[in-house]
Chain A
Amino acid sequence: MNSVAGINSVRFILLLLLQVVICNHIDFLGYINPYIYIIFIFLFPIREERLVLLLISFLLGMLVDMFSDSGGVHAAAAVSLAYARPVLLKSSFGMLYEHQSIKFSTTDIGSLIAYISLGTVIHHFILFSLEIFNISNILLVLKKTLFSSIFTTLLSVLIIILFSRNRK
């Protein structure tokens, strides 16, 4: 097992546990929870095969679903995020992505925040629309999406900055 696979496996397990043990039970103001397990999808190595990312995202979402008894909503949202990731990368990092030379630990903070927040909003919108599954409650979906996205983005950016090495 090389170090990239090692780091990603450890990240997978740690983020999953962090999500189901702590983050699912924060319930800030009654309903706002961060879904930080998507950091794994954000930070997945870019040069890897996209099919692998799709499959692993599905597995990750499914496991979160299993822990939170939510059917398949996390799996669906995670797979969509994984599928949309190249577009997000291109729009947030531009040329860097074209050259396949993004290093998340050294990119400038503005692009990183744009990337994370865009992805989070997409993920959360799909997550909450499927969870509530009722078009007449669209306001509730939007409200949950907005507040949880803010929470998740903040936490994700903080975690990525804290745990990335040699950031100047």
Chain B
Amino acid sequence: MQQILNFVIRNKTFLLFLLLFSIALALTIQSHSYHRSKFINSANFLTGGVYGTMNSVDQYFDLKTKNNILSQENQRLREQLLNSHATADSSYIDSTFSQESYRVTVADVYKNSYSSTNNYLTLNKGKNDSIKRDFGVITSNGIIGIIDNTSNKYATALSILNVKSKINAKIKSTNHIGSLTWDGKSPAFVQLDDVSQFAPVKVGDTIETGGESSIFPKGIGIGTIISFESDISGDTYTIQVKLFNDMTNVGTVYIIENLDRTEISLLEQRNNE
């Protein structure tokens, strides 16, 4: 007993180091597995507060570009509105049965990173705005990521620039689907894996969300095809996609909730049983 105590006292620095290092290592390993509740994330009052203060100073510096983006979006939406007008008033919509299936919340990006291989965004909407895990995050140009953790006032989103991220996507001209991943190299490009060899892939084609997962609505833009190559096995293509979004410059995002999500997942669960 005496010897054990002596050993502990003699090596106390090393033992403490070992303890702290293993705690840190455990947290690291845990953070590498997708969707595990985490203790250490930036959706809390301390980090949220600091990033909020920073954002309120920071946002003055790019008001001009933000205005430009907004006016461009306005223009596009107005075009859509004017074009849809003619068809809308000719038919009668029964409001009891046609309900909207997506709810959109606007949020400010408090923190965005793109230099690491596991990137997250911190947004200024949280549980108080009924934001929950697995809601989609998009901008006017295309998709950004998926909500991961939420606190009362803030949320973190798993960026598409995260090696853990896997999003269902398809080629716009055909309906061939694949999964969107990131190799951790350049923030301007992502990869679309597992696209069938039968798909007519052309450089310049548009990639959009597939609508197969219940997170994103179908048809939200992702990017254009830059190049593609056959997989090692020769059955599938791996496609390099240039993102529509400049992921290094994201200011305002829209959080999308699929209101039919629980219904869909219940149905799918029943199939699996």
Q: Within B174-189, which residues are at the interface with A (CB < 8 Å)?
A: 184-187
The reply to whether A79 and B116 form a contact with Cβ atoms under 8 Å apart is no
The reply to whether A69 and B41 form a contact with Cβ atoms under 8 Å apart is yes
Interface size class of A (residues with CB under 8 A): 35 or more
Quick one: which of B23, B32, B118, B248 contacts A75, CB cutoff 8 A?
B23
Which chain B residues lie closer than 8 Å to A54 at the CB level?
13, 16-17, 20
CB proximity of A111 to chain B, nearest CB, Å: 24
Q: A72-B40, A73-B28 are in contact. Are A67 and B115 (CB under 8 A)?
A: no
Quick one: which of A21, A50, A61, A66 contacts B46, CB cutoff 8 A?
A66
The reply to whether A76 and B248 form a contact with Cβ atoms under 8 Å apart is no
The reply to whether B27 and A27 form a contact with Cβ atoms under 8 Å apart is no
A88-96, A97-105, A125-133, A154-162: which one contacts chain B?
Answer: A125-133
Instruction: Please report the C-alpha to C-alpha distance between residue A50 and residue B20 in the assembled complex, in whole angstroms.
Output: 13
The reply to whether B50 and A130 form a contact with Cβ atoms under 8 Å apart is no
Q: Let me know if B12 is at the binding interface, CB within 8 A.
A: yes
Instruction: Please report the C-alpha to C-alpha distance between residue A23 and residue B185 in the assembled complex, in whole angstroms.
Output: 20
The reply to whether A62 and B50 form a contact with Cβ atoms under 8 Å apart is no
Instruction: Please report the C-alpha to C-alpha distance between residue A75 and residue B40 in the assembled complex, in whole angstroms.
Output: 11
The reply to whether B23 and A72 form a contact with Cβ atoms under 8 Å apart is yes
The reply to whether B50 and A70 form a contact with Cβ atoms under 8 Å apart is no
Quick one: which of B31, B40, B248 contacts A62, CB cutoff 8 A?
B40
Instruction: Please report the C-alpha to C-alpha distance between residue A73 and residue B26 in the assembled complex, in whole angstroms.
Output: 10
Instruction: Please report the C-alpha to C-alpha distance between residue A54 and residue B11 in the assembled complex, in whole angstroms.
Output: 14
Which chain A residues lie closer than 8 Å to B29 at the CB level?
71
User: Which residues of A come within 8 Å of B, CB atoms?
Assistant: 17, 20-21, 24-25, 27, 30-33, 50-51, 54-55, 58, 61-62, 65-73, 75-76, 79-80, 82-83, 130-133, 137, 140
**Could you write out 21 A-B pairs with CB less than 8 Å apart?**
A17-B50, A27-B248, A51-B12, A51-B16, A54-B13, A54-B16, A58-B24, A65-B40, A66-B41, A68-B113, A69-B40, A69-B120, A69-B122, A70-B28, A70-B118, A71-B30, A76-B28, A79-B20, A82-B17, A130-B28, A132-B117
Query: Nearest 9 CB-CB pairs, A to B?
Result: A71-B31, A72-B27, A76-B24, A72-B24, A75-B24, A69-B120, A31-B115, A71-B28, A83-B17
